[in-house]
Chain A
Amino acid sequence: MKLRHTPPLSHRRRRTFFVAHSLLIILILLTAPLCGFAQFTTNYQALPIEDTIPPTYLSALNTRLSGAQAAISESNKAVIASIRKYLQNRTDYVISRFNDDYIISDPTLTSSLQRLLKDIYDANPQFKPETHVFVYRSEAVNAVSFGEGTIALTLGLLARMETEGQIAFVLCHELAHYHYKHSDNKIVALSKLYNDKEFKKEVRSIKRSDYEQITKFSKLAKSLELSITHHGREHEFEADSLALRMYRNLTSDVHSPIRTLEILDSADRDEFPNNLDLKTALHTDAYPFKDQWLAYTPSSTWHATSEDNDSTRTHPSCQRRIKALQRQMKSLPACINNKFNADARNTLREHCRFEQVASLVHYKRYGRALFESLKLAARYPDNAYVHAIIGQCLYQHYAHQQNHELGKVLSLPDPRFAENYDRFLTFMHNLRLSELASLSYHYMASRKDRYISNEEFLFGWWMASQTGVGNVASDEIKKAYIKTFPHGKYIKKFNK
């Protein structure tokens, strides 16, 4: 798994996210698109947040769980109890992902994935179509098969995919994990291990020892981790192999699988090769941008640890996976047809970029949301939604800093981030409270005449008026909002 250069927050997310078998797919575009899409030129309407799991899908999950628990074929009662518990936990986890708003089932984003999934099953009739695919609210470039039939592709992944073929290959890979029962098998293996007499004896022996308990436990954990990692790596090659066969039954495209892994290999680089032009983005005549804010000095004590040994990663290196795929391709028969729709893919990709921003705001990750919004603003300079989010995020930074809670919404600079993001974080941390307030206010004030009719912008303008920088009556803006949007989504927030 390519974790070594990613920040701790992403580590935690990934560890959680990939509790079941998962494939880490990280892609980067070598050339950033220079122009936007007409559909997003002036505005974007964020998808509604789905608060709870759809009842029909909850019912389906419970039915699957009952079936899986009934099908346990072990004889040892303790092992059976353990497997049942793990299966229950896995289902609970999937439900929690829905209930915590992470999973998007809205057809706007999922219909093309459902179509691809159907096409893959149609082309591979030997597999029963018993999985469901969704979109996951995360900017991490990931996909996951939870193991009980739910597959999710992140917004970050979909925003980076160049072709439908690449998405199809990722789906094939996740399907391969599911149909090989990798998650189920791991649950059985772990249940057996934890109930193994020798293992329990060793744990007891360490607990009883007077010295070096932690060192001994660490060694034991390390040996287990290596064993699990080793099997996990085998599973990845296995999933790639089956994914390629499924994929080749679907399409004549031979480029996407290799290209997917090539992009994965260069995943740590920023999607856009150039650093954000913060000066152009945030300068206003009323509050000129100060060059000193751009001061950037990476840590002088920082030492990047040496490259992780490939054997300790959960996923083997992409180069090795590419070679394995290339070997396999030589022996595969000619393919059938190519059904991919390039235009639909491009629109979906842009849609995901906007929805990523909406998701980041929803999870109060205002620092990242601001960064992504500024990138979008460079490509969609007339989009009211993007400017509104930039204004809202600037205000949120101001409000959190005022309460000494900046750390809750903005990461600290980190040499492991891509330079573009690290520079942005350094810039944000260079700003004083009064400067944050002024930037927030003047950014919105300079655009209000143009975008005031936009709901998101109007609420952002009300936020900016709270900074106390300009002589603007907040109450008047609030009244205007209530009058214009009597059922608006921010009505409740005025009273907080």
Chain B
Amino acid sequence: MRKIYLFMCCMMIAIQMTAQTSSTENVKTVKLRSAGSIIQNGTVKGYFNFYNVEKKDRKNNNYQLTITDENLREINSITITRPTTYLLVEGIFNGTSFGFLFFDQQKKSLELIAYDQTLKELGKVTKTLKNRQGYGTYMYMAQGNEMMTSVFIAVPNKGFLLYGIEDESKCDYEIEFYDNSMKRAWAIYGPKDEFDFENAVEGFQSDQYIGSIVMRRTALLDFNPEMDLLVVNTSDGKQLFRVPMETSKYKVALADLSFDAAKQQFTMFGEYFNKEDNSLKDPSQGFITVVLDMKGKVISEKVNSWKKEIAAKVPAKHKEAFEEKSILFHDFIRTADGDYFAIGEQYKKGGTPMTLKLNIYDMVILQFDANFAMKNVHVFTKEKSDFSIPGMAGMIGGSKMLSYFAKGYGGFDYAFSQVAADNNTFIINYVNFEREKGQKGKNQLGSIVYTPEKTFTVDKIDLVRKGSKYFVYRAKPGYVMISEYFEKEKRIDRRLEKINY
């Protein structure tokens, strides 16, 4: 999945913190974006809106927290008084309770609050961010940047997971599990070893297990990390296994993970690299699927290389582009019939050394069958866009590293994917600037739809901007939610748009 981006973001944070580039203006942007989709098992179940209503006194504001259901009907609304430096990071629903993660910049603390479906508070906990890197993660977000992967995760009906950094460490992960009333049930930490920089992000969840991807580094700016798969019991956090994400021949990265309860097997799916290669810098060799037993031992593996299996399926007219450009993969989706889809976007380094850019090109979807054999390569053309790389960031390395940087700053057109409840249909959304001949350019939301008939179709919605800002959010399957902010009126309008297919 997109897990690797968090690691990249962590690295960029370090750079950003050194550069001291935070600004008040960006924070305002984040405040405005303190609205988002409430996700449960990958499906939008509603939306939260958190905004500053007024000054309570010199140090505090009155904030309003409003929750709507997936059809934008207000469920409830409450007013809470908190410091002026308070931000909502994430809102989630686990089927029983809502969980909200707040960040107080001044106090350098997190507050986790659980509410029932009437917005009655069930419990809360405050955590001081003593670790500089842990604090940096949230400051990165407060500067208006995307958190590329969630740190606050709903565990269906049981509670919430919080991924962070251990206080008493240089930069080792901390995974905490809170129940529905925000009482901490368990916590696990990165081991005390030579890898002082170990970050973890969620990999998968099943009824019994929680899988995390752990990236090990010996130094903050070590750009050749090792990846591990860590699996623990949901009930008590007890480790089932922790194994390197590799086979006898290859390293695996950007992996999508799943657990088959019937077969008692774990599956990793993602790009693979030669063992001596650097997965953050070198191009991958192709895609691999690896099946592990309950001890983390490799049972089987299957590869599809760029040069053979994948190249054979690239449409003739796109072969040249495939050779010239690289692909950054944003998401992986498995449909009900077992087919796997890797969703990516082409890019290429451009500009001059002084004005470095990352040019963003077409959307690419690789389709594998249930046995992970290469089935098809789909290319969806769109207008080229570009992302200007700040001078300092240009020093961090080749185009692959820059692609992660651009991703962290929202430089790619890809927005999000949505999968229907029956897993037969999915929609890939991207925002692009379209220029039609003789017409003024306009932003468009492009939706690539994989239909129940197993064909692709593309729908486009003009993002006509009436307000001063607009945002596109995930919505219930088949829809997108568009929110517009009217600065003069201090009003936010939200609407659901149905996607045509």
Contact = CB atoms under 8 A, between A and B. Distances in A.
Nearest to A7: B73
Interface in B445-466: 461-462
Interface stretch (B146-154, B268-276, B383-391, B490-498): B490-498
Contacts, number: 73
Nearest to B64: A214
Contacts of B40: 300
A214 B54 contact: yes
A212 B500 contact: no
Interface string B61-90: 010000101111101100000000000000
Given A215-B62, A302-B75, A414-B71, A407 B497 contact: yes
B57 interface: yes
Interface stretch (A139-147, A345-353, A364-372, A426-434): A426-434
A46 interface: no
A412 B498 contact: no
B501 interface: yes
A268 B492 CA distance: 31
A299 B501 contact: no
B56 interface: yes
Given A211-B54, A404-B498, A407-B496, A301 B76 contact: no
Contacts of B93: 301
A433 B500 contact: yes
Contacts of B501: 432-434
A409 B57 CA distance: 45
Contacts of A416: 73
A20 B72 CA distance: 30
A406 B55 contact: no
A85 to B, nearest CB: 25
Interface string B478-499: 0000000000000000011110
A301 B497 contact: no
A21 to B, nearest CB: 29
A401 B72 CA distance: 19
A401 B496 CA distance: 12
A293 to B, nearest CB: 13
Main secondary structure of the interface of B (DSSP, over half): strand
A132 to B, nearest CB: 39
Given A214-B53, A214-B54, A301 B46 contact: yes
B95 interface: yes
A210 interface: yes
Nearest to B58: A211
Contacts of A493: none
B118 interface: yes
Interface string A11-44: 0000000000000000000000000000000000
Interface in A413-469: 413-416, 429, 432-434
B257 interface: no
A301 B70 contact: yes
Given A300-B45, A301-B45, A301-B93, A413 B71 contact: yes
Interface string A102-133: 00000000000000000000000000000000
Nearest to A213: B54
B496 A212 contact: no
B54 A401 contact: no
A401 B498 contact: yes
Interface string B37-56: 01010000110000001111
Nearest to B482: A404
B355 interface: no
B117 A301 contact: yes
A303 interface: yes
Residue among A299, A301, A416, A433 with the highest chain B CB neighbour number at 10 A: A301
A305 interface: yes
Contact of B55 (A212, A301, A302, A303): A212
Interface in A294-308: 299-303, 305
Contact of A305 (B69, B71, B76): B76
A93 to B, nearest CB: 24
B118 A303 contact: yes
B180 to A, nearest CB: 15
A301 B69 contact: yes
Contacts of B72: 412
A319 interface: no
Contacts of A62: none
Given A299-B70, A299-B71, A305-B76, A212 B95 contact: no
Given A301-B69, A301-B93, A212 B46 contact: no
A484 interface: no
Contacts of A434: 501
Contacts of B498: 401, 404, 406-407, 429
Interface string A241-283: 0000000000000000000000000000000000000000000
A300 B95 contact: yes
A402 interface: yes
Given A301-B38, A301-B45, A303-B118, A412 B62 contact: no
Given A407-B495, A407-B497, A301 B67 contact: yes
Contacts of B462: 404
A416 B69 CA distance: 12
Contacts of B95: 300
Residue among B38, B73, B461 with the highest chain A CB neighbour number at 10 A: B73
Contacts of B46: 299, 301
A412 B496 contact: yes
Interface string A214-227: 11000000000000
Contacts of A412: 71-73, 496
B356 to A, nearest CB: 37
B54 A302 contact: no
Residue among B40, B56, B75 with the highest chain A CB neighbour number at 10 A: B75
A384 to B, nearest CB: 31
A214 B64 CA distance: 12
Contacts of B53: 214-215
A337 B366 CA distance: 83
A299 B69 contact: yes
Nearest to B44: A301
Contacts of A212: 54-56, 62
A429 B461 CA distance: 18
A211 B54 CA distance: 7
A414 B118 contact: no
Contacts of A429: 498
A301 B40 CA distance: 10
Nearest to A216: B54
Contacts of A214: 53-54, 62
Nearest to A217: B54
A301 B38 CA distance: 10
Contacts of B118: 303, 305
Nearest to B120: A303
Contacts of A210: 55
7 contacts: A213-B54, A301-B38, A301-B45, A303-B76, A404-B462, A407-B498, A432-B501
Given A214-B53, A301-B70, A415-B69, 8 more contacts: A214-B62, A299-B73, A302-B117, A303-B75, A303-B76, A303-B118, A404-B500, A412-B73
- Ordered nearest first, which 4 A-B pairs have the shortest CB separation? A412-B71, A303-B117, A433-B500, A299-B69
